[in-house]
């Protein structure tokens, strides 16, 4: 009878061997897929940069064709900037930059000393503008410029500005005299955070490969040990975490202003707030006073749980910082937020730690703070968040400053600019986080961008804000297609109430 019973000892050995084979096979699959994914991301990033550089070269050639040799010869000394034609040429550069999607367009003249003289640019920021008053600069070692001086249209790729500006691609096109000599160069820059982000994700992917292998190893060890109680505890812990995050989502939603407050403050409004995960790093806040309303649209570093924690800190700080004395001064509000966040996070300037916590925090937030007066005028200050205004005839984009709030880098309130927009019964305002503009989609897998956004709000200006916001969301989703969401989505649209 005994010989007819199953050999449990041999069966267990066979099962263990099968599990070992499956475990090794799983590790190999994860490693191969991870390495292939990293190679694919690296290849796609390189191809994306090549495509953008080719387009940028064409833009620089068009910019070079806009100016004549006579104009270049006319503008050589600082006093030549007072000539009417100089301002007209600068206006052409601004229009060209807006039409082509470039960030900066400028002309450089090579000097006999080996340095370059800036002639004119399109920059609206007076702190970074360059022109005939700018001292000659030695930029001859800038990648791409030697090729342009040799008569070739060239691209500099991601340059030395990457750490300061978040990624800058440049292209240069030569301008020839009748004898074929290069007498000037047209430079074109675009802020290409997309490529920088892709390269950073490529580095992150290397870490994720290690994490993935560790996870597989851990899973295999758990399988071999056979302790079902640990697996059950892991499931229970996961469910507890999810339940906690879902409850945190309810708390975060309760931090948002009530819709009735917006109805009382504005003639028309619409808001779309859709975190990428259960909770998100985007938040908006509003508070009304006797003569107007303060509105803040904020994009905290990251998304998910880390971003959500920062949003709660930002909202509580706003509640404490904005009062009846400073609510009209948007620069003062941002400065108060900066000081309080730095104090709460125990930061020194530059994000260095102090005290005994042993944690380095370099996070902060991008935001726009607007004061909407009851007469319809608007003052605002912004860091890395743009404010769009449409009057039915055109869309004006007011760029946010290149500053981040909460990381300890700001030194004084005077660094924060205030932009004033006069009252206009036709004005409608739109503020969105970069989760809208930077979403990849379409056939070319490029960001949604500012132009598509501007076109939608201009074409639908006569509609209610809720209709316009819904059309923006539908266009965003159609453009995204099967591509995953990259970030949280936040859009605040309103029309001032003019009393």
Indicate whether this model's pTM tops 0.85. Answer: no
Q: Are residues 123 and 272 in the same domain?
A: no
Number of separate domains in the chain: 2
CATH classification at residue 98? 3.30.450.20
Q: Which tens digits make up the pLDDT trace of 145-155? A: 888 888 899 88
Residue 22 belongs to a domain: no
Q: How many CA atoms lie within 13 A of 94 on its CB side?
A: 13
Mean pLDDT of 466-473: 97
Residue 464 binned pLDDT confidence (cut-offs 50, 70, 90): very high
Tally Cβ neighbours within 10 Å of residue 129: 17
Q: Are residues 191 and 250 in the same domain?
A: no
Mean pLDDT of 164-189: 82
List the single range of 171-185, 209-223, 254-268 with lowest mean pLDDT: 209-223
List the single range of 48-62, 108-122, 283-297 with lowest mean pLDDT: 48-62
Residue 131 belongs to a domain: yes
Q: Are residues 157 and 305 in the same domain?
A: no
Residue 27 binned pLDDT confidence (cut-offs 50, 70, 90): low
Q: Are residues 306 and 448 in the same domain?
A: yes
CA 65 to CA 175: how far, in whole Å?
8
The kind and range of the H/E element at 110 are strand 104-110
Domain of 133, in residue numbers = 44-195
Residue 59 belongs to a domain: yes
Q: How many CA atoms lie within 13 A of 365 on its CB side?
A: 35
Q: Are residues 462 and 352 in the same domain?
A: yes
As given in the structure block, the two tokens for residue 327 are 């609510």
Residue 353 has pLDDT above 50, yes or no: no
Residue 74 belongs to a domain: yes
Mean pLDDT of 300-315: 77
Q: Are residues 132 and 279 in the same domain?
A: no
Residue 219 has pLDDT above 80, yes or no: no
Q: Are residues 159 and 95 in the same domain?
A: yes
Residue 39 belongs to a domain: no
Q: Are residues 159 and 261 in the same domain?
A: no
CATH classification at residue 485? 3.60.40.10
Contact 59, 96 (CB under 8 A): no
At 344, is the secondary structure helix, strand, or coil? helix
CA 348 to CA 366: how far, in whole Å?
19
Which of 176, 195, 214 represents a domain boundary (last residue)?
Answer: 195
List the single range of 21-25, 126-130, 173-177, 320-324 with lowest mean pLDDT: 21-25
Residue 212 belongs to a domain: no
Q: Are residues 146 and 80 in the same domain?
A: yes
Residue 361 binned pLDDT confidence (cut-offs 50, 70, 90): low
Residue 201 belongs to a domain: no
Q: Are residues 258 and 184 in the same domain?
A: no
Which of 175, 195, 215 represents a domain boundary (last residue)?
Answer: 195
Residue 214 belongs to a domain: no
Q: Are residues 260 and 140 in the same domain?
A: no
Q: What is the DSSP string of 380-435?
A: EEEES--EEEE-SS-EEEEPPBS--BSSS----GGGS--EEE---TT-EEEEE-HH
Tally Cβ neighbours within 10 Å of residue 94: 14
Q: Are residues 318 and 448 in the same domain?
A: yes
């Amino acid at each position: 009878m005994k010989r007819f019973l199953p050999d449990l000892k041999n069966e267990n050995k066979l099962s263990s061997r099968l599990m070992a084979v499956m475990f090794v096979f799983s590790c190999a699959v994860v490693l191969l897929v991870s390495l292939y994914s990293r190679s694919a991301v690296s290849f796609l990033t390189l191809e994306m940069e090549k495509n953008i550089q080719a387009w940028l070269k064409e833009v620089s050639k068009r910019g070079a064709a806009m100016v004549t040799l006579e104009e270049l010869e006319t503008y050589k000394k600082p006093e030549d900037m007072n000539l009417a034609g100089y301002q007209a040429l600068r206006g052409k550069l601004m229009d060209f930059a807006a039409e082509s999607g470039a960030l900066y367009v400028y002309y450089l003249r090579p000097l006999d000393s080996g340095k370059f003289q800036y002639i004119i640019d399109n920059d609206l920021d007076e702190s970074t503008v360059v022109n005939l008053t700018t001292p000659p600069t030695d930029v001859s070692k800038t990648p791409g410029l030697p090729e342009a001086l040799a008569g070739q249209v060239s691209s500099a790729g991601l340059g030395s500005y990457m750490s300061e500006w978040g990624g800058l691609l440049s292209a240069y096109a030569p301008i020839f005299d009748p004898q074929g000599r290069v007498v000037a160069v047209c430079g074109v820059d675009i802020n290409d955070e997309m490529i920088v982000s892709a390269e950073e994700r490529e580095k992150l992917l290397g870490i994720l490969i290690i994490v993935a292998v560790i996870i597989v190893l851990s899973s295999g060890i758990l399988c071999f040990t056979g302790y079902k109680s640990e697996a059950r505890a892991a499931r229970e812990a996961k469910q507890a975490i999810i339940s906690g995050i879902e409850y945190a989502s309810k708390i975060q939603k309760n931090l948002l202003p009530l819709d009735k407050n917006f109805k009382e403050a504005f003639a028309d409004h619409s808001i779309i707030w859709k975190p990428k995960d259960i909770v998100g790093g985007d938040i908006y806040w509003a508070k009304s006073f006797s003569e107007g309303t303060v509105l803040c649209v904020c994009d905290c570093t990251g998304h998910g749980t880390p971003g959500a924690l920062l949003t709660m800190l930002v909202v509580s700080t706003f509640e404490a910082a904005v009062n009846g004395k400073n609510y009209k001064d948007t620069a003062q509000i941002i400065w108060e937020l900066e000081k309080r966040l730095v104090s709460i996070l125990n930061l020194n300037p530059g994000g260095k730690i102090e005290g005994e916590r042993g944690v380095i925090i370099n996070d902060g937030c991008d935001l726009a703070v607007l004061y909407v007066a009851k007469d319809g005028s608007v003052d605002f200050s912004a860091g890395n968040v743009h404010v769009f205004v449409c009057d039915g005839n055109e869309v004006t984009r007011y760029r946010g400053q290149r500053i981040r709030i909460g990381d300890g880098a700001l030194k004084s309130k005077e660094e924060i600019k205030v932009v004033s927009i006069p009252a206009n019964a036709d004005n409608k305002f739109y503020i969105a986080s970069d989760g809208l503009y930077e979403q990849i989609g379409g056939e070319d897998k490029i960001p949604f961008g500012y132009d598509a956004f501007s076109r939608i709000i201009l074409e639908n200006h006569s509609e209610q804000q809720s209709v316009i916001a819904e059309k923006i969301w539908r266009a965003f989703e159609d453009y995204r297609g099967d591509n995953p969401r990259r970030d949280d989505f936040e859009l605040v649209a309103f029309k001032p109430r003019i009393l």
